[in-house]
Structure 1
Amino acid sequence: MNRLFFPDHKKAILFDMNDTLVDRQQSRELHFTELLRDYTGRWSAPPEFSPEHVYARYMAEQKKRAGKSITLQDKQACLKAALTPYGFPVTDRWMKQFFQEWRKSRARPAALYPHVRDTLRELVKHYMLGIVSNSPRRNVQAQLEKLRLTDVFPPDRVFCSKKGAYRKPQPAMFHHVLSQLKLKPGEAVMVGDSWKNDISGSVKLGIDTVWLQTSAARPGLRRIGKTRVAVIQEFRQLRNLFLPGG
């Protein structure tokens, strides 16, 4: 894809956090398997035991319950079913403790998508970078600190929804961001994975957008009315859109 954006016209690139920079699915799986490996280390595991296979079975059991609200008891039943083939002495007390620890692990560093860190380091040399997220600010800020990205996204460029006030895709959220950064809509580009929250919400204010869609057949352009939307499959393709020589 040819370059679309230049620093003499665009001053800032705004990013969604979860599922744009951070791979939440990989983060959940990584924390699950690490915790399970630690918990089962005291047991005599059969040769075929694999925490990764247990996680896959656990998720498969959850899919069987799709369409209904999943309770803690449901999750425990899914984990028990995933562990049954290995003959571990799984008890309700053990599973309750496991899920408590898994929830706590969310405060640990998340997994970035491939090429996120090096691409951001290149982009920040030419553009102001910011975060626009519907997640609580304390969570976003904690993740940025643990990921060592606060120099790329300083606190005054991290914008999060406020309960009862605004959130994506509401225009007020984007108005607030532009106002704080002293930008006109045409001077910013929003990058995100959600068509509703990141793309259509920005376009309504005249902000150009890049849609990160990993399932796209190829990078290219889509349109909302007369407005074009750049579509990329992976994060490093942003270099082609924003940097000289791609």
Structure 2
Amino acid sequence: MEHICTAAEASPAAKAVFFDVDDTLYDHLTPLREALIQRLHLPETLPYEEIYHRFRYYSDLLSAEKNLSAVPTPEDMADMRRRRFMLALAEFGEFINEEQAEAAQAAYLDMQFQIKPFPEAVKLIQQLKNHGIRVGLITNGPEEHQLAKIKALQMERYVDQQLFFVSGGVGYAKPDARLFQHVNNVTGTLPENCYYVGDSWRNDVVGAIAAGWTVLWFNHRRAEPESEHKPHFIADNYEQLGNMLKKQLY
């Protein structure tokens, strides 16, 4: 997706906050849990939050192996989607075949378009914009798929669509710092004036730090750090995120 930097967006001194989408703007766990329970009839008592962590781990790992977030082929994407279900569930003693994994993926996909944003996320975005802060989105995945989720979240009501950046449209995927550099180039912003809010250590923390941005790790799943990188701020809820940004920006 090509963006045009308007004159109003071109000031390097402008402060900007960009948000990740999946499990940052909305609860990414719910579609997964419901897909597994409804389509595969797995017990409701399984530790779905732990399963979700491993599902995201394998999704990121397998995507990175074949650069799927930037230049996916349909065959590779389908293989990754099957394998992440199979590998994650196997760690919890639930062994499924490829057909079951495809069924789970189909249900998971359907439920992703029934999502709603965290109310606190919308409130924070509105507060930032009211204080003159530019707000945008940076997300990994195929462009059409991610934009459909953004549309389901009705984010165009709150965020300028020219500030939607999807790895599949840009050609670089988090944690590649070039994705963040592309955002700076297109928007006319400087890394030192940009803040990134995201839940994924591998993609959001590592990628934004490498690009020289200020990183707010939205660790609402109480995940453990995966490397020696150090986010500038850590928050487990939107109230904390809002307070941190308020102190930094206005």
Q: State the match for 2:57 in structure 1.
A: none
Secondary structure at 2:239's aligned position in 1? Answer: helix
Q: State the match for 1:157 in structure 2.
A: 163
Distance 1:66 1:240, change over 3 A: same
Partner Cα separation in structure 2 for residue 119 and residue 164 of structure 1: 26
Check the 8 A contact 1:216/1:232 in 2, yes or no. no
- Relative to the length of structure 1, the TM-score reads 0.63
Distance 1:56 1:111, change over 3 A: farther
- Relative to the length of structure 2, the TM-score reads 0.63
The letter of the residue matching 2:91 is A
1:171 maps to 2:177: yes
Check the 8 A contact 1:11/1:128 in 2, yes or no. yes
Task: Give the C-alpha shift of residue 203 in structure 1.
Answer: 1.7
Which residues in structure 2 correspond to 1:178-189 (within 5 Å)?
Answer: 178-189=184-195
Task: List runs of 5+ in structure 1 lacking aligned partners.
Answer: 1-7, 37-50, 77-95, 218-222
Check the 8 A contact 1:22/1:111 in 2, yes or no. yes
Task: Tell me the percent identity.
Answer: 21
Partner Cα separation in structure 2 for residue 171 and residue 145 of structure 1: 26
Q: State the match for 1:231 in structure 2.
A: 234
Q: State the match for 2:121 in structure 1.
A: 116
Task: Give the C-alpha shift of residue 103 in structure 1.
Answer: 4.5
Distance 1:206 1:104, change over 3 A: closer
Moved more, 207-216 or 66-75: 66-75
1:66 maps to 2:91: yes
Higher helix share: 2
> Aligned residue pairs: how many?
193
Which residues in structure 2 correspond to 1:10-89 (within 5 Å)?
Answer: 11-30=15-34, 54-56=43-45, 65-66=90-91, 70-74=96-100
Distance 1:136 1:153, change over 3 A: farther
Moved more, 200-209 or 179-188: 200-209
Secondary structure at 2:165's aligned position in 1? Answer: strand
Check the 8 A contact 1:132/1:158 in 2, yes or no. yes
Partner Cα separation in structure 2 for residue 241 and residue 69 of structure 1: 43
1:184-213, CA deviations, whole angstroms, 9 ceiling, x for partnerless residues? 111110111122221222222221110111
Check the 8 A contact 1:16/1:133 in 2, yes or no. yes
Task: Give the C-alpha shift of residue 151 in structure 1.
Answer: 2.6
Secondary structure at 1:190's aligned position in 2? Answer: strand
Distance 1:210 1:74, change over 3 A: same
The letter of the residue matching 1:119 is L
Partner Cα separation in structure 1 for residue 180 and residue 240 of structure 2: 24
Moved more, 103-112 or 178-187: 103-112
Task: Give the C-alpha shift of residue 153 in structure 1.
Answer: 2.2
Partner Cα separation in structure 2 for residue 195 and residue 100 of structure 1: 24
Distance 1:111 1:32, change over 3 A: farther
The letter of the residue matching 1:235 is Y
